Amino acid sequence: MRGRFITFEGGEGAGKSTQALLLAERLRSLGFGVVVSREPGGSPGAEVIRHVLLSGAAKPLGLHAEAILLAAARADHVSQTILPALECGEWVISERFSDAARLSHGASAAQARLLAQLEKTTLGELKPDLTIILDLAPAQGMVRVKRAQREEPADAETLDLASKHRKAMQELAEREPQRCAVVNAGADAGTVAEFVWAVVNSRLLAAEAPARLRSAAS
């Protein structure tokens, strides 16, 4: 049986890494094989590109070049990590995926067209079975980031961009309710994990048990 593909999206400080690991731990306790990944990155080639992107070395090349690099990283991530795991029946949980890039960088019509074409080329028919959007007020997220990394408080421009990204994610959930689920990430990690588990249980595991029984019978 093909595995399941779950992605976590959300702003800074929403807890994507934490929730991905907690969900993986819970699925493994039920006997599922699970691969936890991330973007940018998630495969050897993609991790090299991640370093270039996060170092800022690609910024002088412009947004188009950054988008192409990100797409190259995603193509490697998909071909080397995601698809092989799914074909082996494992569940893949990725911190960020194509939604984050498309909603963060598609500022102009030209950029939006480029991103759409790159996404079509790198993903083909692949889509997450479930995208969990961890929703958190940007100001609260920045406070969490500051506590964890001892960074300076975010400026108004950073908060404005974060607010726009949050709105874009909420609109995505409205457009694709079958794939996306919004989870309130304002509570403690344990409580949010229970919210996440309820979504995964109702949307994926409820259908998984009958399928496994049919597979075993055949």
Cα distance between residue 146 and residue 64, in whole Å: 30
**Options 1.10.10.60, 3.40.50.300, 3.40.50.2300, 3.40.390.10; which CATH number does 5-217 get?**
3.40.50.300
Q: Which residue has the tokens 């412009």?
A: 62
Give the model confidence (pLDDT) of 120-163 as tens digits: 899 988 999 999 999 999 989 988 888 877 556 556 667 888 89
Q: Return the pLDDT at 113.
A: 81
Q: Return the pLDDT at 82.
A: 98
pLDDT at 194 over 50: yes
Q: Which residue has the tokens 């979504």?
A: 199
pLDDT category, 218, cuts 50, 70, 90?
very low
Using an 8 Å Cβ cutoff, are 44 and 80 in contact?
Answer: yes
Give 66: exposed, middle or buried? Use CB within 10 Å, 0-12, 13-18, 19+: middle
Q: Could you tell me which residues are beta bridge partners of residue 91?
A: 34
Give the model confidence (pLDDT) of 155-192 as tens digits: 666 788 889 889 999 999 999 999 999 999 999 999 99
pTM reported for the whole predicted model: 0.89
Cβ count near 96 (within 10 Å): 21
Give the model confidence (pLDDT) of 105-122 as tens digits: 545 667 778 888 888 899
Strand order in the sheet with 34-38: 34-38, 91-95, 5-10, 130-135, 180-184
Using an 8 Å Cβ cutoff, are 14 and 71 in contact?
Answer: no
Using an 8 Å Cβ cutoff, are 180 and 128 in contact?
Answer: no
Residue spans per domain, the chain: 5-217
Give the model confidence (pLDDT) of 24-82 as tens digits: 999 999 999 999 999 999 999 999 999 999 899 988 988 888 889 999 999 999 999 99
